[in-house]
Chains A and B, each alone.
Chain A
Amino acid sequence: MEAEEGIGKNIPVVTKQSWRFNIKLSSIIDNLIAARQIMDLTDETAIDGSQALRRSAMALLADCDAVDIAGRLDGMALPAHETLREPENGLVMVRGRIGGDGAPFNVGEATVSRAVVRLSSGEVGFGYTLGRDRQKARMIALCDALIQSADHANALEAQVLAPLRAAMAKKRNRSAAETAATRVDFYTMVRGEG
């Protein structure tokens, strides 16, 4: 009798919890994009301006093709620099969270290249990128060092980052337009009661 009571007590609780969990999960998935923007904003406020600049440049360069970066850097007067850490390949464990704020889990390993470059004036730049392109990692590190240098930051922005950013935006807009052309909207008609 006691046991039956125990079971009887438990079942509604369990059902209720899982139901609430389902609701929470779906609302997170629906609001993923909105939630991500909020998270990014809070991160931005935690770090200072120069770090945000370096981060945005790193995000841009990691997405660009190595050939494009090399082409842009060729046109720039580069200061003397040395490679503090030769470009190398390795694996990093990529972790994810369901819905952006669930429990963390390991998605899998990704190949990453990294390099560290130091300018003769002492600025040290770090470059990381997905894949095995070592020269790309070196170029990203060089750009990161140049951003921190007062003498070269403006030239880098004008000659390398701005054109690459424009090309990237153009590419993304084009693919967004192509996707939008095939968009299908689904409507659910509300069934009349009477």
Chain B
Amino acid sequence: MTTFAELPAGFADKVLSAQSTFRSVMDAMARPGSVQKIAAAAGAPAAMMPGTAAIALTLFDHDTPVWLDSAMAETSEVTKWLKFHTGAPVVEDCSICSFALIGDTAALPELGRFSFGSNEYPDRSTTLILQVGSLTEGPAVELRGPGIDRPAVLQAAIEPPDLLARLSINAALFPRGIDVVLVAGDAIVAIPRTTLLSAKGD
């Protein structure tokens, strides 16, 4: 008997699901702070939210090394699932990964340990995919920058609270930097490296 007996399935309709998920992620990146829904349904391991699973199935392939935090790598289920459906190599070293899946944001490593890309190839940086409690309730953060008409307000329940403040390193690094996608269930919010964050009321 093969070991795939308990493996959750991927997208029911590969092409259309991947297209609609890509559209959601692109819209989220184009309008930082806006909450986008991922409509495509996919099976997912227990540690992964539906949104994270859909993004993984859409964006990961054999060319994108993936790093898992301890919450994701607790059981081999996520690794097996990623390997079967996406073929993406799961790496131990987070400084060479294209994507980092973070199940427990409280234990997020120093951002400096991830890849910022180089001035010649800023696209070779790590994209963090953080699973958070909520994207509609929590402390308010004001977002400014390209793609944001009036200062947008993001209310998200993120542990630890200073996490978004740590993203201010992006301003000094540009064009290098780290892009972040926050996932709560099937809702996503993107914070690209160009976005400036400040606590509401500053």
Contacts and interface: CB of A to CB of B under 8 A. Distances in A.
Q: Do A and B come from one complex?
A: yes
Interface of A: 82-86, 88, 116, 118, 122-124, 148
Contact of A85 (B1, B5, B10, B13): B10
Nearest to A121: B5
B91 interface: no
A88 B5 CA distance: 21
A86 B15 CA distance: 10
A118 B12 contact: no
A20 B106 CA distance: 70
B1 A88 contact: no
Nearest to B12: A86
Given A84-B7, A85-B84, A85-B85, A122 B1 contact: yes
A124 B9 CA distance: 12
A85 to B, nearest CB: 6
Contacts of B85: 85
A88 B4 contact: no
Contacts of A122: 1, 5
B11 to A, nearest CB: 7
Contact of A118 (B4, B11, B13, B14): B4
A67 B113 CA distance: 55
A122 B121 CA distance: 45
Contact of B10 (A86, A123, A124, A148): A86
Contacts of A88: 14
Nearest to B13: A86
A84 B4 CA distance: 9
A116 B9 CA distance: 10
B2 interface: yes
